[in-house]
Amino acid sequence: MRIGYLINQYPMPSQTFIGREIRALEDLGMTVDRFALRQWNGTLVDERDRNEQAVTRYVTGIGIGRILLALLLMPFRKPFAFLRAARLSLRVARRSDKSLTLHLIYLAEACVLSRWLIESKIEHLHVHFATNSTEVAMLSSVLGGPPYSFMVHGPEEFDRAATLSLDEKTARAAFVATISSYARSQLYRWIRFEDWSKIKIVRCGLDADYLTTEPAPPQANRRLVCVGRLCEQKGQVLLVEAAAKALQASGPFELVLIGDGDLRPAVEEAIARNQLEEVIKLAGWADRDEVKQHILDSAGLVLASFAEGLPVVIMEALAMGRPVITTWIAGIPELVVDGEMGSLIPAGDVDALAAAISKLLATPSEELSRLGANGRARVLQNHDVRQEAARLHQWITSGNDDSRPVRYDTKLPPDKKRELQQAQS
């Protein structure tokens, strides 16, 4: 089966889970074509991301002139389909917090994408994030493109559920995947009751790089790591404040912040104000192997977010046997059990964060190993990308029918078939 994947911007450093998912579907025998509306303009430090970029087709990459030409020609090629798509675009625009001009741009992009999908004989289009990329997929399907599904991560999609027309997008989709029970419940709030059965949980997963090799146990080395884009919702400024309190209470330690973003100046200012230049290191973006090594070299991961879906970096840290300190929000408590894999704290509570850091710094290696082993077992059970891709494969090939089994490609070697069947079971 030939399917397409559509993302607004792809690849980006924070989208490793999408690449893993695509490769797992390819292992199941699917042919996956990558599409994106636009190319990310940052620097890709990971070779795997650069390889993904090389095989991704970008709608805006053809230039504004050819996009407008596709929009102008579509009424002559498919007049009735174009009229339906235009009416749908206007209806969605009336509910949106974005301008009508942007929605007309989405319609033009759909004219380009639908032609590409038909020419490539794409049988199904799967989209990540319920924002403009899903709108383009929905309009593309009206214009004669294949059926579509989409993955909802949150929290931005839930913050803007009405203006994103989540109900309309869900009603027209073959199914909707989401990453946690919490996210599913938030979708239930915004869509028609009649469409509840379309919502499927497909958790983000890890691949063999994390799941097949038993990591070395953590050591009480007083080194912590935080991985994430430097932005408000990740809470790094609050983490700096908490680090200052933990330093006073527990003595010297090291905290490495991996990532970059718009909030870097504010984080740097907080570090200087609290005189933490010897404690906190800003490492910038790193490739996947470097991130993995930073986590392995630490006693644990700290993530102080107050808006999340279910962070993949928490899965990665637990898979490597490292306990975590994170916040009691969204889908995180479905993965992290407080006291069994680390600490869950109230979001935005600097004192609780500082206390959790001090507690982890004082934890002996034997207890760190126990916490890490518990976390790794949880990830192995619920976040194997092969298992989650098998679920996605089933719904793509069977629509919204849960009873239909996964169809394995008969060309796969017997050992691969057995491995995939075990993962799905």
Q: pLDDT tens across 380-396, in order?
A: 999 999 999 999 999 99
The domain of 154 spans 2-205+384-424
pLDDT tens readout for residues 38-62: 999 988 988 999 999 999 999 999 9
Return d(Cα 344, Cα 342) in angstroms, integer: 7
Residues 126, 257, single domain; the answer is no
> Residue 400: pLDDT band by 50, 70, 90 thresholds?
low
pLDDT at 401: 55
| Cβ(136)–Cβ(160) below 8 Å | no
Residues 201, 270, single domain; the answer is no
Residues 259, 141, single domain; the answer is no
| pLDDT at 399 > cutoff 50 | yes
Residues 413, 331, single domain; the answer is no
Residues 281, 165, single domain; the answer is no
- State the CATH number of the domain containing residue 265: 3.40.50.2000
| Cβ(316)–Cβ(338) below 8 Å | no
Return d(Cα 228, Cα 257) in angstroms, integer: 8
pLDDT tens readout for residues 172-212: 999 999 999 999 999 999 999 999 999 999 999 999 999 99
> Residue 230: pLDDT band by 50, 70, 90 thresholds?
very high
Q: Minimal CA–CA distance to 372: which of 336, 345, 344, 347?
A: 336
- Catalogue the E-assigned strands of 322-369: 324-327, 342-345
Return d(Cα 244, Cα 226) in angstroms, integer: 15
| Cβ(317)–Cβ(379) below 8 Å | no
pLDDT at 406: 38
Return d(Cα 214, Cα 319) in angstroms, integer: 9
pLDDT at 416: 43
| Cβ(395)–Cβ(200) below 8 Å | yes
CB proximity list for 419: less than 8 A, separation 6 or greater: 386
The DSSP bridge partners found for residue 35 are 6, 57
Residues 389, 414, single domain; the answer is yes
Return d(Cα 256, Cα 225) in angstroms, integer: 5
HSE on the CB side for 154, CA within 13 Å?
26
Domain count of the chain? 2
Residues 403, 328, single domain; the answer is no
| pLDDT at 424 > cutoff 60 | no
Residues 241, 139, single domain; the answer is no
